[in-house]
Structure 1
Amino acid sequence: MGCCSKPKTKWVCTDFKITLISATDLKGRKFSTTKVYAGVSICGGAEKQTPVDTENGTNPTLNFNAIWPIDDSDVQHYCSRVVIKLYWKRRFFGDRCIGQVDVPLKDLRDRAPKPYVEYHVSRGSKVKQGTLKFSYDFGVIRDTDEKPSYSLIKRAFDGVIAIVSVITCSAALDG
């Protein structure tokens, strides 16, 4: 190694795999068929969406798999979260969010392995909208030369900087 060459950085990565299985007892519409789909994201990243279940109404079968390569150190913090939103597919006025499940990746990593887990679907802080069943797995931890596509802590930090910038700009305009 010469005096001008930099040492290569190694990243510790893992794949987070999630399988959305089904939801039950969702609050549905009274006068038409409820068509439901879900969107999954990690820390506000791009949302991956399931196909729309047009047959099972308020008890949709989702059967959807998604995988994210993530920096393993991000899983050690409670700010790194998986968010699953359930939507009604509507012909007019756009789709409507029924509710969501928001779980820290750290809680999932620390939990004893099970074939699946169930969480209450919430809308707001108090209103329960049914139950969501999913399974998950953290893949083998590996070293790599490439930074994973999702560095969750950086995303969260960038979001805080953006919010602070907006507050600072609006305060400057008001002052």
Structure 2
Amino acid sequence: MVSWIISRVIVLVFGTLYPAYYSFKAVKSKNVKEYVRWMMYWIVFALYTVVETITDLSLAWFPVYYELKMALVFWLLSPYTRGASVLYRKFLHPMLASKEREIDDYIVQAREKSYETVVSFGRQGLTIAAAAAVSAAVKTQNNFMNTSKGILFRRALQLRLSARC
């Protein structure tokens, strides 16, 4: 049985670092075939990452769960099985192509909504900051006035006392 940490290291090295280096080499060499291969891999691996996050929460107790994760990453990566290419061509590409317009619309809506949310939070933050600044200024002014009145009162009292003597 493989531990969580060994599985994690293997998935990171072989699922991320190795493909990242070969993606770099594909871009550097301008080999379109390799470039397409690694783009398909990264699209599949992005889906793998989403599914992994969910299954880590619900299936980590399963006896050979970590071994299956490692086997899946090796299958996706292998130039012999071309698992990522198979998954991409048979499932992901057709699904993404049929839903492309809906996904694009959703992304536009999410972008607009997130912009509106950021602006709203910014306005609220500025309102709170302005109120805090005004409140601090009023308190400081009151403290100053009270201190000034006290000093003036003591000075006037001293002048009266010295005038009597």
TM-score (norm 1): 0.27
More strand as a share of residues: 1
TM-score (norm 2): 0.28
Query: Relative contact order: is structure 1 or structure 2 higher (C-alpha 8 Å, sep ≥ 6)?
Result: 1
More helix as a share of residues: 2
